[in-house]
Chains A and B, each alone.
Chain A
Amino acid sequence: MAQFRTCPDTGLYFHKSAESLIKANAVVGAVFLLVAGILALLVTLTRWQAIHLLPADQFYMALTAHGIDALIFWIIFFEMAVLYVASSVLLRCRLATPYWGWVQFALMMVGSVMTNVAIFQGGSSVMMTSYVPMQAAPHFYLGLILFAVGALIGCFVFFGTLVVAKDEKTYEGSVPLVTFGAITAAIIAVFTIASGAIILVPTFLWSIGYISHIDAEMYRIIWWGLGHSSQQINVAAHVSIWYLIAGLVFGARPMSEKVSRAAFLLYIFFLQLASAHHILVDPGVSSEWKVFNTSYAMYLAVLASMIHGLTVPGSIEVAQRAKGLTNGMFEWLRKAPWDNPVFSGMFISLITFGFIGGITGVVMGTEQINLIIHNTIYVPAHFHATVVTGTTLAFMAITYFLIPVLFRRQMILPGLAKIQPYLFGGGMSILILFMLGAGTMGVSRRHWDMDFTGAALGFDYPGIAYTMMGIGAFGGVIGVLGGAAFLLVTVGSLLFGKKLEPSAGLLQSFGVPLAASCYSSTKPEILPMAPPLEHHDTTSFEAPGTFVLALLLLVSFVVYYFINWKYLASVWPLS
């Protein structure tokens, strides 16, 4: 009989096996965040030319490990936890086949450790993309493959749990919006991992000598079906978390279930075309293919993100106005709980993802504009705005909620927790904005030395490019401090926080269940539908402040987009 625990503070139900898996995945994710953060510091201090910390070989090793540990291992371990929360916890349902959940965890552990061993042995400094024909050690690829198989199993445990919930009627009506978003993430994950398997399995066989040749261009196109689409898993996951936090903190309901769900559906249909973003200046691929794919078929996935950009803050505004915060355009926002890291983290994530990550992504994903951006440091600047201040900060924000609820520990250092999202989001935004600037000046990504020491022929970047890299790196250091503050608060809480439940010890933080008396085998009450709206006026502007913010986003977008066309028009004619 399935064992459940009710959280006395929130009323959420935790299935015993699901709870352990959520904890284990989240904690291991945080360990990889720690490793990735240390590596981030080394990388950023090396690219700060005045410091230039690491020698070339160690820099490329650290950069390879940083990319893989942060972008793959931290985020996907945490996403496994998110999937189990969105299915088992939100639907009050037992987790399907917990045994397979542990297989997921074990495979991902073995794979992530194996790939890290390969990298730190030194023979696999091939960057996260591992472009052929540069070759890594076989266990570099094998680790990634095992990790991906684990993640795939996790997705199917999630799907299985949805089936169980439906079958056992644990909820009324349709699944909640947050779960719908998680389903989107999991569906995208499945075809992403399929792309990964199609290219990484042959590459592994090539590394052990069973296949003689992998076409370099074919590798790029298929690998990016993994590499970029996997970022769309993150988008779907962190947008779901935005909605979740809006509900948790404000009691917000979606402005329109239909609109928000349709936007998620657009992600499923179109996001996987983004492989093209990396192929725009490649040989042998036609302009028609590039234009169609890079635009996600006429930017329909961008449309989806623009919709969420309105409906997430809009739902908060509606909830705040219902509480009487109706003065002017922005009282609802001014009087939001800015000292609650769950909210501030989420809102900074929303703003930086939209204004910086989203706009720069569309600009550099424009077929011709990519000519002036491809492989410059503009590219990592863009994706730090999406996956660091976007995804990672959203995951940090929800972690603050989970510490007392899931781990049953009171948070320590609340003062530090209050400023942490600002420290992390602010530092990373400095890094991002100045890296965007340096990229516009042509500074290369994945490059150890912008002085080109030892080169037969030289080239001098303008002095301003050095200044920008320096200021950016300074912001990076602040960002790392913000990341350290997060780990200090969260890990410190697990170790030293007041126990909200006497049996919540150290081992419990890693997935051992709480005392048996916490659980009961009574089936949770059926999850009811949301209470009906008293009135729904479709003609009025329910969230005017949000509409102004959305128009501000649009204007920034339009101006910045055409500035880049203007810049492109100044370079040599090419055809």
Chain B
Amino acid sequence: MTSFMPPADRIWWKVPVGRQEIIWIAIALVWCLILFFMMPYWHIYGKQNLSNEAYQTTPAKFGAKVQAMIDQYKVGEEAGIPIVKPPAGSDVYLLGRLWQWYPILDLEKDKTYRLHLSSMDWQHGFSLQPININIQVVPGYEMVITVTPDQAGEYGIVCNEYCGIGHHTMVGKLYVKE
């Protein structure tokens, strides 16, 4: 009956701590430090890190950049959405809006691109499947991610931030070719 009674010792903070607890606290603390240092470690030695590059933007400004890329590099159309094949190493733009990812990007395997993401309206979630890369897309912000697709294939871009009644129809596509 003591966890809900005042401590037995008035000066409870001077009661020595048992060896078992001290050992556990030491083990747990070491593990916590490992957990912490894994993150900076991965920034230095790991390959999957998000950049800190982002800009404030507006739907009009970002939409114009997307359109400029489409005008220059459009190679086809699928379900009414342009397919764009920008040169390797270039800046590529993808916008999310109710309820569409626009346009369809056609990328080359093992080439590096600067992918710009933004939203025209509400928040959206860029969820590249089945590779499973998930990034928040926020209106008013243009996020730039340097990405190197290293597996060829056809990928779906699912919206995984709830964006209203048509949320489940918001699926885009991305091609990576050899």
Contacts and interface: CB of A to CB of B under 8 A. Distances in A.
Interface of A: 56-57, 60, 90, 127, 131, 133-134, 171-179, 215-217, 220, 243-244, 246-248, 251-259, 261, 279, 281-287, 291, 295, 298-300, 302-303, 306-307, 310-311, 314-315, 362, 366-368, 370-376, 440-442, 444-450, 452-462, 527-533, 536-544, 547, 550, 554, 557-558, 561, 565, 568-569, 571-575
B5 interface: yes
A44 to B, nearest CB: 17
Given A217-B140, A373-B134, A442-B158, A258 B17 contact: yes
Interface in B57-78: 78
A302 B28 CA distance: 9
Interface in B72-104: 78-81, 100, 104
A366 to B, nearest CB: 6
A428 B24 CA distance: 30
A176 B5 contact: yes
21 contacts: A60-B162, A133-B122, A174-B10, A178-B4, A216-B138, A220-B136, A247-B2, A258-B13, A258-B15, A283-B54, A283-B143, A310-B20, A368-B46, A371-B50, A374-B125, A442-B127, A456-B169, A530-B1, A547-B20, A573-B148, A575-B47
Contacts of A291: 36, 39-40
Interface string B128-142: 011111111011111
Interface of B: 1-10, 12-13, 15-21, 24-25, 27-29, 31-33, 35-36, 38-40, 42-43, 46-52, 54, 56, 78-81, 100, 104, 117, 121-123, 125, 127, 129-136, 138-143, 145-151, 156-173
Nearest to B118: A283
B131 A178 contact: no
A573 B7 contact: no
A334 to B, nearest CB: 21
A interface majority secondary structure: loop
Given A173-B6, A176-B2, A543-B20, 15 more contacts: A134-B163, A215-B140, A216-B139, A291-B36, A314-B21, A375-B127, A447-B162, A456-B79, A456-B80, A457-B173, A529-B5, A557-B31, A572-B148, A573-B47, A574-B49
B145 to A, nearest CB: 6
B35 A458 contact: no
Nearest to A440: B132
Given A171-B6, A173-B10, A253-B3, A220 B127 contact: no
B19 A538 contact: yes
Contacts of B163: 134
B134 A90 contact: no
Contacts of A177: 3-4, 7
A454 B147 contact: no
B47 A569 contact: yes
A340 to B, nearest CB: 17
Nearest to B20: A541
Contacts of A311: 21
Given A536-B15, A538-B18, A575 B130 contact: no
B54 A528 contact: no
A286 to B, nearest CB: 5
A237 B32 CA distance: 23
Nearest to B35: A299
Contacts of A442: 127, 129-130, 132, 134, 158
B145 A259 contact: no
Given A252-B2, A291-B40, A442-B132, A575 B127 contact: no
Contacts of B104: 457
B12 A569 contact: no
Contacts of B167: 56, 60, 446-448
A570 to B, nearest CB: 9
A462 B104 CA distance: 22
A573 B147 contact: yes
B167 to A, nearest CB: 7
Contacts of B25: 259, 303, 307
A442 B47 CA distance: 20
B34 to A, nearest CB: 9
Given A246-B3, A446-B162, A574-B48, A257 B133 contact: no
A457 B156 contact: yes
A454 B165 CA distance: 12
B83 to A, nearest CB: 11
Contact of B171 (A279, A314, A458, A527): A458
B169 A298 contact: no
A459 B148 CA distance: 22
Contacts of A448: 167-168
Given A258-B13, A295-B35, A456 B50 contact: no
Contact of B130 (A307, A441, A449, A539): A441
A121 to B, nearest CB: 16
B16 A538 contact: yes
Contacts of B123: 131, 133-134, 216
B151 A572 contact: yes
Between B4, B9, B17, B29, the greatest number of chain A beta carbons within 10 A of the residue's beta carbon is seen for B4
B171 to A, nearest CB: 4
B158 A444 contact: yes
Contacts of B121: 133
Contacts of B168: 56, 447-450, 452-455
Given A255-B18, A454-B169, A367 B39 contact: yes
